[in-house]
Amino acid sequence: MDAARAQELTDEELDAYILTRLKSLGVDLGVLPEDEPDAPADRRRVLMGARRFLRSTPQAILAWEPDPQAVTPVLYPASQGRAVRERDRG
Amino acid sequence: MAERPRVRGQGGGTLAPLDRLVDRRLFLERMGLLTAAAVAGTACTPARSSVYTAGGAAGPSTPSSAPLPDPRSVRATQPWEMTLAELASQIREGALSPTEVVEAYLERIRALEGTLRAFNTVVAEAARAEARKLSDRRWSGPLHGIPLAIKDNYYTQGVLTTANSHIYRDFVPAYDAEAWARLKAGGAILLGKTQMGPLATSRATTPDGDPTTRNAWAPLDSSVDPGGSSSGSATAVAARMAASATGTQTGGSITNPSSRQGLTGIKPTMGRVSLRGIVPLSYTRDHPGPLARDAMDAALMLQHMAGPDPLDPRTLGLPPVPDLAMAAQPVRSGTRTVLRWPTTLGILPGYLDPPEPEGDEPRFPTRREETPGERERRLRVAAARRAAETAARQAMVATFESLGARVVEVDLPEEWEILTSGDFNNVRLPERAEPFLDVLRRDVRLFGVALSPWIHGLLLSGPEYLRGQRAKMVLLQRVLDGIFSRCDAVVQTGPVPFDMIGLPLIAFPIGFEESRGYPLPVSALVGGLPFGEERLLSLAAAYQAETDWHRRRPTDPTDSPGGAPPGPAPAWRLDVLDVLEACE
């Protein structure tokens, strides 16, 4: 699915995905109040934030396409800085 | 490591800064160490390497040879008015005892804490007992008898450590965080644990979002951000309730509160300080570091905190910690202050330009619509603040030029906006969720207002996470090949890009603005090369030798016999969406 089609997913589809994914991991949003503005968190706002996240972040990241042969995934890039400069000096 | 060459700067011959040294052998050694650990299946808990000096109870891995101030030059009369370095010189000379210093700070906390709410816990009796012990001992170094405030996500043996979260409500660690253990080994005394954003997310609030800590420069106005998430640490140091403090930074949490409260805060290179014994937020991006009154104090703190920890692989295989306190010693040439090392300072496009008229002054509560009058005031305040910031930036750059810096405009690397965007910043979120999965399964309500980023971390899949890690390497390459091919240090307008790639950042005050009718600090944020802490400290120290912004302190809230009264209760609280926004 391309990014534009992901944007088209309905709230209901995304909510179903979110709740199913969480349930598969054993995480239950059902303990939160449904819609309680004075509560620190409720299901309505948590799902709203999650939908916004899913409509943006995964597509934005995967839309960026580096050459996988040229770039390795690195957890702590700063410590590689010296190596990068070594590489550039041949 | 190869012997460090000497360079001749304006201040005379001095060891070359670590950031511009390239040592192939060091890198190969590091790779060899990590490979060996992986083969042995011990990558997470590598055995002690004989290559490196173990830290911990031994104190700083590299002792400093920097001189302390001449005790006769100290003008402050109260212990709490002195910088850490000044206090150290007074204690060394016997002019002050650790007991006198601790009592002075406890009195200060008694007087101000009711209004400022910087602390979660104050351990007065334990601090007194430790001070008595140290008063009877021979002076052991610059931290001997120095009272510190420690962020409440650092484990402190036998002392409640809550991270302002329901999850850690009753947690009393059995051991000290390595960074705190090193400070303690140097003679530092724990005054208390400081307020923070829940689990190090937003500005300091209770786990359910009620704001706690005030900005020391605006004690009666809760809408003035104290900076987060190390809010209490910043307020404690700014209000002179501690000599210095620790913080952690994943997305600006050391440099933002330092900037908001006129402090010098340094976020070191990833791995420079051990994270063992600190409540995790994002294990590839969490950085411990100090919030201090000036560059020298920050250097003395970091000198002790930094170094390899055999039980934190992120700290292993890195260059040895240099003499940071010496780097923060201003250099004089005749009657002038000069830079310790020849330095080119990079300026980002637009950094010195007049500000845009529309501002981003935060508003509370975010869920209520503004009235036209409120909006007009918010934008007017923001515009005034930005204008003052621009003027302060221009003056700061001129000061650096007068100190001998070469100033150049540098271009942003290709795809900067994409690679440093909120979406790529979100790549860190699975790192939050993973260590807390058992808590998420138990009861999501334990996360209070901080819940959403942990939920989002469960929704990001492997391919996105890995591509995000590739993006970090690309960003690092472009920053090194682009920005740092033209300069040695570069101004920044926000912490996230250098937090993502683990490069060091320093914040220090460069002026004040009065958009609200009273002074609030304006600060600069400067980034460096990997392990460039000493250059960043040297730049801030030279700047501070020529300016006095860092010496100013906020006016105390009115004291009364029972201590300063609480300020007006905030008419707002953060909720789960506010914290999400703060995290983005």
Predicted confidence (pLDDT) per residue in B53-68, tens digit: 334 445 687 788 889 9
Q: How confident is the model at residue B551 (pLDDT cuts 50, 70, 90)?
A: very high
- What average pLDDT does range A50-74 have in this prediction? 94
A9 interfaces chain B, CB cutoff of 8 Å = no
Residue B76: count other Cβ atoms within 10 Å of its Cβ. Answer: 14
Name every residue whose Cβ is closer than 8 Å to that of residue B531 and which is 6 or more positions away in sequence. B18, B19, B269, B272, B318, B319, B504
Residue B511 clears pLDDT 50, i.e. is over it: yes
B572 interfaces chain A, CB cutoff of 8 Å = no
Q: Check residue A28 and give its pLDDT.
A: 98
B418 interfaces chain A, CB cutoff of 8 Å = yes
Q: Check residue B18 and give its pLDDT.
A: 82
Q: Check residue A59 and give its pLDDT.
A: 96
Q: How much of chain B, in percent, has pLDDT values that exceed 70?
A: 88
Task: Region of B486 please: left (phi>0), alpha (psi -120 to 50) or beta.
Answer: alpha
- What average pLDDT does range B91-109 have in this prediction? 97
Q: Check residue B567 and give its pLDDT.
A: 74
A24 interfaces chain B, CB cutoff of 8 Å = no
Q: Check residue B372 and give its pLDDT.
A: 84
Predicted confidence (pLDDT) per residue in B16-27, tens digit: 888 877 443 443
Integer-rounded Cα radius of gyration of chain B = 22
Q: Check residue B26 and give its pLDDT.
A: 47
A5 interfaces chain B, CB cutoff of 8 Å = no
Please judge whether B469 and A75 are an interchain contact, meaning their C-beta atoms are less than 8 angstroms apart: yes
Chain B contacts of A88, Cβ < 8 Å?
A: 481
Q: Check residue B434 and give its pLDDT.
A: 96
Q: How confident is the model at residue B467 (pLDDT cuts 50, 70, 90)?
A: very high
Q: How confident is the model at residue B12 (pLDDT cuts 50, 70, 90)?
A: low
- What average pLDDT does range B564-573 have in this prediction? 77
Please judge whether A31 and B444 are an interchain contact, meaning their C-beta atoms are less than 8 angstroms apart: yes
Angstrom distance (rounded) from CA B100 to CA B35 = 51
Name every residue whose Cβ is closer than 8 Å to that of residue B74 and which is 6 or more positions away in sequence. B82, B86, B89, B90
Angstrom distance (rounded) from CA A28 to CA B513 = 47
Please judge whether B474 and A71 are an interchain contact, meaning their C-beta atoms are less than 8 angstroms apart: yes
Chain B contacts of A56, Cβ < 8 Å?
A: 422-423
Residue B5 clears pLDDT 90, i.e. is over it: no
Interfacial A residues in 28-47 facing B (CB < 8 Å): 28-29, 31-32, 37, 40-42, 45-46
Q: Check residue B20 and give its pLDDT.
A: 77
Q: Check residue A6 and give its pLDDT.
A: 64
Residue A16 clears pLDDT 90, i.e. is over it: yes
C-alpha dihedral, B266 to B271 to B275 to B276, nearest 10°: -150
Predicted confidence (pLDDT) per residue in B380-428, tens digit: 888 889 999 999 999 999 999 999 999 999 999 999 999 999 999 999 9
The owner of tokens 């912490």 is B495
Angstrom distance (rounded) from CA B233 to CA B237 = 6
Chain B contacts of A66, Cβ < 8 Å?
A: 467, 470-471, 474
Angstrom distance (rounded) from CA B22 to CA A86 = 7
Mean pLDDT for chain B overall: 89
Q: Per the structure block, which two tokens stand in for B483?
A: 């920005």
- What average pLDDT does range B526-553 have in this prediction? 97
Q: Check residue B68 and give its pLDDT.
A: 92
B273 interfaces chain A, CB cutoff of 8 Å = no
Angstrom distance (rounded) from CA B563 to CA B557 = 9
- What average pLDDT does range B118-146 have in this prediction? 97
Per-residue exposure over B369-379, b if at least 16 CB sit within 10 Å of its own CB, e if not: eeeeeeeeebe
Facing residue for A26 by CB, picked from B441, B449, B461: B441
Alpha helices in chain A, H assignment, sequence order: 3-7, 11-24, 43-63, 81-88
- What average pLDDT does range B83-111 have in this prediction? 97
Q: Which residue has the higher pLDDT, B92 or B75?
A: B92
Chain A contacts of B451, Cβ < 8 Å?
A: 40-41, 46
Residue B253 clears pLDDT 80, i.e. is over it: yes
Q: Which residue has the higher pLDDT, B180 or B571?
A: B180
DSSP B80: G
Please judge whether A57 and B456 are an interchain contact, meaning their C-beta atoms are less than 8 angstroms apart: yes
Q: Check residue B229 and give its pLDDT.
A: 96
Angstrom distance (rounded) from CA B232 to CA A41 = 24
Kindly report the pTM of this predicted structure: 0.91
- What average pLDDT does range B6-11 have in this prediction? 59
Predicted confidence (pLDDT) per residue in B474-498, tens digit: 999 999 999 999 999 999 999 999 9
Q: What's chain B's length in residues?
A: 584
Interfacial B residues in 294-353 facing A (CB < 8 Å): 314, 317-318
Q: How much of chain A, in percent, has pLDDT values that exceed 70?
A: 82
Residue B462 clears pLDDT 70, i.e. is over it: yes
The owner of tokens 């900037």 is B259
Q: Check residue B578 and give its pLDDT.
A: 87
Predicted confidence (pLDDT) per residue in B273-310, tens digit: 999 999 999 999 999 999 999 999 999 999 999 999 99
Angstrom distance (rounded) from CA B290 to CA B508 = 12
Interfacial B residues in 90-129 facing A (CB < 8 Å): none
Residue B359 clears pLDDT 50, i.e. is over it: yes
Q: How confident is the model at residue B4 (pLDDT cuts 50, 70, 90)?
A: low
B19-33, B242-256, B338-352: least confidently modelled range: B19-33
Active site residues per annotation of B = 151, 229, 253
Residue A12: count other Cβ atoms within 10 Å of its Cβ. Answer: 8
- Determine the distance in angstroms separating the CA of B94 from the nearest CA of chain A, rounded to an integer: 42
B440 interfaces chain A, CB cutoff of 8 Å = yes
- What average pLDDT does range B5-18 have in this prediction? 66
Q: How many CB pairs under 8 A join A and B?
A: 175
- What average pLDDT does range B574-580 have in this prediction? 88
- What average pLDDT does range B223-249 have in this prediction? 97
